């Protein structure tokens, strides 16, 4: 094994460690941010006593989950009961390896490196395939718990996520037609024109709106949180879960929020492209790469803030309203968006 191969392997392990650490820290502090922002919306403070301004609250919550008693229902299907939260969490976190966090950068000694863990030509297809597996974790949790509320939450989740996954997939067809590729890195590069302002949201705004709505439904967030629905189903599919198994479901929800935020940023909002960054730094320089990474993370944080804002302001749909909206409005709207985009591309407008 030559020296360059050893360097490449070490860089991959370092990239995986850094990406997962950053993602998990952002997820932890997204929970804290949600509780504080919801507190402000509702006229209260939120958690603010553990550490300065509540900054250590996520670690206190983690310690609580670790130390809590793990209760397993007597009549549950135990193997699947234990497997379900693992499936939900792994399906959520496995997509992180294909997102480009920044452009290629040239460093002394090391040489040229790309700020992505794994570069696939079909990265977008990989993301859609892996995230679709997450619904099995929720369905199996609802069934294996042997609880009527959990089962109802699992059934709702399977119907909801399968229905809205179709609209979400169709909303991505427009940008794919424009880019002509499923390579996420290439899709971001194609949005680099106009000094980093050639975002696909400008050309396919209807697709972005469809994606935005479907993303809320796919992640079971307000106003589409019917699988949990605390006021109806106690807690839905994870009613019988406690301690670290509940923490895994809790973490999976917020990782999924982060995942759809990254996908929206990559496909519609220019990815790591920072407006006018090429006028400040040369492409390929360390400064340009760092500014691009910061821009990527800022866009994701804005998307996550929108998630929290919607939760604090909108009521929950009824289940029949949710299904009707998905099939009778969102799906036709996605098809109309594809037709418009394809027509404009055919006419040479795009």
> What percentage of the chain has pLDDT greater than the value 70?
96
pLDDT band of residue 1 (cuts 50, 70, 90) is low
Give residue 285's pLDDT. Answer: 81
pLDDT tens per residue across span 276-303: 888 888 887 888 888 999 999 999 999 9
The mean predicted confidence, pLDDT, of the chain is 88
pLDDT band of residue 23 (cuts 50, 70, 90) is confident
- Mean local confidence (pLDDT), 194-219: 91
pLDDT band of residue 205 (cuts 50, 70, 90) is very high
Give residue 79's pLDDT. Answer: 92
- C-beta of residue 279 within 8 angstroms of C-beta of residue 195: yes
β-strand 111-113 against 105-107: which pairing, if any? antiparallel
**Two tokens at 171?**
């909303």
Give residue 110's pLDDT. Answer: 67
Nearest to 247 by CA among 238, 258, 256: 238
**Two tokens at 203?**
């050309």
Residue 192 CA neighbour count, 13 Å, CB half: 15
């Amino acid at each position: 094994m030559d020296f360059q191969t050893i360097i490449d392997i070490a860089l991959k392990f370092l990239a995986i460690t850094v990406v997962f650490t950053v993602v998990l820290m952002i997820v932890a502090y997204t929970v804290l941010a949600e509780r504080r922002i919801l507190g402000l919306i509702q006229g209260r403070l939120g958690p603010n006593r553990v550490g300065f301004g509540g900054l250590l609250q996520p670690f206190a919550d983690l310690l609580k989950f670790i130390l809590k008693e793990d209760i397993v229902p007597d009549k549950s299907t135990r193997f699947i009961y234990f497997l379900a939260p693992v499936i939900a969490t792994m399906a959520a976190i496995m997509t992180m390896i294909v997102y480009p966090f920044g452009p290629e950068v040239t460093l002394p000694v090391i040489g040229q490196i790309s700020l992505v863990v794994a570069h696939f030509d079909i990265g977008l297809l990989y993301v859609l395939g892996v995230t679709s597996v997450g619904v099995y974790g929720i369905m199996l949790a609802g069934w294996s718990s042997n609880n009527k509320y959990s089962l109802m939450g699992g059934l709702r989740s399977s119907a909801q996520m399968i229905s809205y996954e179709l609209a979400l997939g169709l909303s991505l067809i427009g940008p794919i037609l424009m880019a002509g590729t499923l390579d996420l890195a290439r899709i971001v590069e194609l949005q680099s024109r106009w000094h980093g302002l050639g975002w696909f949201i400008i050309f396919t705004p209807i697709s972005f709106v469809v994606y935005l709505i479907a993303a809320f439904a796919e992640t079971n967030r307000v106003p589409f949180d019917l699988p949990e629905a605390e006021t109806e189903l106690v807690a839905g599919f994870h009613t019988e879960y406690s301690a670290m198994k509940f923490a895994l479901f809790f973490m999976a929800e917020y990782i999924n929020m982060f995942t759809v935020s990254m996908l929206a940023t990559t496909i519609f909002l220019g990815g790591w492209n920072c407006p006018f960054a090429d006028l400040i730094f040369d492409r390929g320089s360390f400064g340009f790469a760092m500014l691009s990474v910061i821009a990527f993370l800022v866009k994701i944080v804005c998307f996550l803030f929108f998630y929290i804002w919607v939760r604090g302001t909108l009521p929950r749909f009824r289940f029949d309203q949710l299904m009707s909206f998905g099939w009778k409005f969102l799906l036709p709207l996605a098809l109309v968006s594809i037709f418009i985009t394809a027509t404009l591309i055919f006419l040479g407008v795009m």
